[in-house]
Chains A and B, each alone.
Chain A
Amino acid sequence: MRIRRTRSGGALIDATREEAHVLRRLLDDVVALLTAPDGADPAARRLLPDAYADDPDAAAEFRELTERSVSEGKLETVRTMSASLAGTRVELDRETAVAWVRALNDARLLVATRLGIGLDAGPRPSADADSGAAGRPGAHGAAIAASVHDPALHDALDLLTWMQARMLAVIGEDL
């Protein structure tokens, strides 16, 4: 894969057929997850997390009000990426490139969760706020420890991570 910046501030993507195929499959997975979110699925909980840490009632009430709009926003972003992923060379305008950056993130979150990465991330009870963060190996993708052995899924995560980092480098400087 190769990703370059275009003169208009978008991105030019050259992918192999295999890469394009993998990306389409991953995006389909994200769509399936968001179309029928299952609260018992860690990936659904990760893409649609609670908005209140210490108040389950407020979290449930808020989820009732906004979960649909959050997931619909994500679906629209993913569908924007899917629609533009035709063939192995695609030129993205800036707005579509931004959609790619966001959709790639949800795909990364889904794959990482399936690999058992980051399952304990997020709010912790305020009581251990002092001890919680410092000792954890939070590495923002640098040295993440996976608990599931699945080479294909690891390869998918590597591809998504490389793409997102490269897309950010290409379009991230000017907003």
Chain B
Amino acid sequence: MTLTEERVETGTRSSARPELPWRTVVWDDPVNLMSYVAWVFRSYFGYPAPVAERLMLQVHTEGRAIVARGPRELMERHVDAMHGYGLLATVERGEAE
């Protein structure tokens, strides 16, 4: 039994695609100041100012931006933190690219 299970598990692992990373998406809203959004990206994620600025502008012009990728639990922590700052953010499953 044990042997069979191990084989099944091994087979599953080798045939499965690696888990696609999840994403933290920040959405545009007309209230949050641009300077505040960029400051949040710097303060919380520790992004250098140019990166934070680019992401903030992407949120502003495209309506949303992916600000982090990784395991689901980590993305959920990020989204919680963004909500704490007052940004609109959601967790999203990454698609194959």
Taking the closest CB of chain A, its distance from the CB of B78, in whole angstroms, is 10
Count of chain A residues with a beta carbon within 8 Å of a chain B beta carbon: 47
CB of B43 within 8 Å of the partner chain: yes
Taking the closest CB of chain B, its distance from the CB of A50, in whole angstroms, is 7
CB of B54 within 8 Å of the partner chain: no
Q: Mark A98-125, 1 if CB is under 8 A from B, else 0.
A: 1001100110110010000110011110
How many interface residues does chain B have, given as a range?
20 to 34
* C-alpha spacing A118/B29, complex, angstroms: 6
Find the residue from A134, A138, A172 having the highest chain B CB count within 10 A.
Answer: A138
Taking the closest CB of chain A, its distance from the CB of B42, in whole angstroms, is 6
Residues of B within 8 A of A49 (CB): 83, 88-89
Residues of B within 8 A of A145 (CB): 30
Do the beta carbons of B29 and A121 come within 8 Å of each other? yes
Do the beta carbons of A51 and B35 come within 8 Å of each other? no
Do the beta carbons of B28 and A121 come within 8 Å of each other? yes
Do the beta carbons of B30 and A118 come within 8 Å of each other? yes
CB of A2 within 8 Å of the partner chain: no
List which B25-82 residues lie within 8 A (CB) of chain A: 25, 27-37, 39, 42-43, 60-64, 76, 79-80
CB of A168 within 8 Å of the partner chain: yes
Q: Which of A124, A132, A165 is B33 in contact with, Cβ under 8 Å?
A: A165
CB of B86 within 8 Å of the partner chain: yes
Q: Which of A53, A98, A134, A139 is B92 in contact with, Cβ under 8 Å?
A: A53
Could you jot down 21 A-B contacts, CB within 8 Å?
A47-B86, A49-B88, A52-B90, A58-B91, A62-B91, A66-B76, A70-B83, A74-B84, A108-B86, A112-B30, A117-B31, A118-B29, A121-B29, A123-B27, A123-B90, A136-B28, A138-B28, A138-B30, A140-B37, A141-B33, A165-B35
State the B residues within 8 Å of A (CB): 25, 27-37, 39, 42-43, 60-64, 76, 79-80, 83-86, 88-92
Q: Please give 15 more A-B residue pairs, beta carbons under 8 A apart, in addition to A118-B29, A140-B33.
A: A50-B90, A51-B90, A52-B90, A52-B91, A66-B80, A70-B83, A101-B36, A105-B36, A117-B31, A118-B31, A122-B88, A123-B88, A136-B30, A139-B30, A140-B32
